[in-house]
Structure 1
């Protein structure tokens, strides 16, 4: 029996080649998926926030998570937990929209706790607004409700360039 070779991305790392939907779930081969975020994307903070916000507004929090994760990987040690928390909030929203209540609660709580350590966040990030957003969702989940989430606002100003 011949074992099929693993699919790999252009850099040679393993990657499933199946198309993905807007929430990052694999679709059947030959389906029309959404454009993937490259694994090596690493945007500076302002660009990352603008791009991630647009993806959130477009209903693609999994992809926003990928953008935020790339910035987390290149952030300064002082900002690393902030970017990790933002990425966790986006993937927590992804889990909620996919119907994974346990994963949503866990990641929304972890993300909230990480960003909550920043009294004043750089880059005009709306820490208090994001914490309130996460708290409302987690409280609803804890009550056994199925909340319909709003789109979080990453910064105080929602200006796109």
Structure 2
């Protein structure tokens, strides 16, 4: 005997999966874009023979500043760039995992579970951070992801 699980009925009649996928793709775009811009900036810096005095000063200060944490001594320049790359890869991985999960279990989004709420909260918190500390491109992408996740939840059915 098989047990049929009825399809979730959504509140607005529209499927909440599509905007959720838009939000998840936004995380992928954010991470890939960050990695691409980081690579382009590093390439341009290597090719540029004349950095500004401010750039030289900042670069020198970061390369000369070290700290030790849990027995590992690291240069501030390396830590800053390493964290940046790691977070970009994390954004890509998170977006791809959300896309894979919703493909195999769309009711995670259709039923307004924590799976749908967690990306919205994360996107909003990161958006707030971006508004304070980052340039326009991540602000725009995160505004789109936040709106997409919110729309997905609005369209979903209450559990």
TM-score relative to the length of structure 2 = 0.31
For the pair shown, which has the larger CA radius of gyration, 1 or 2? 2
Normalized per residue, which structure has more helix? 2
TM-score relative to the length of structure 1 = 0.31
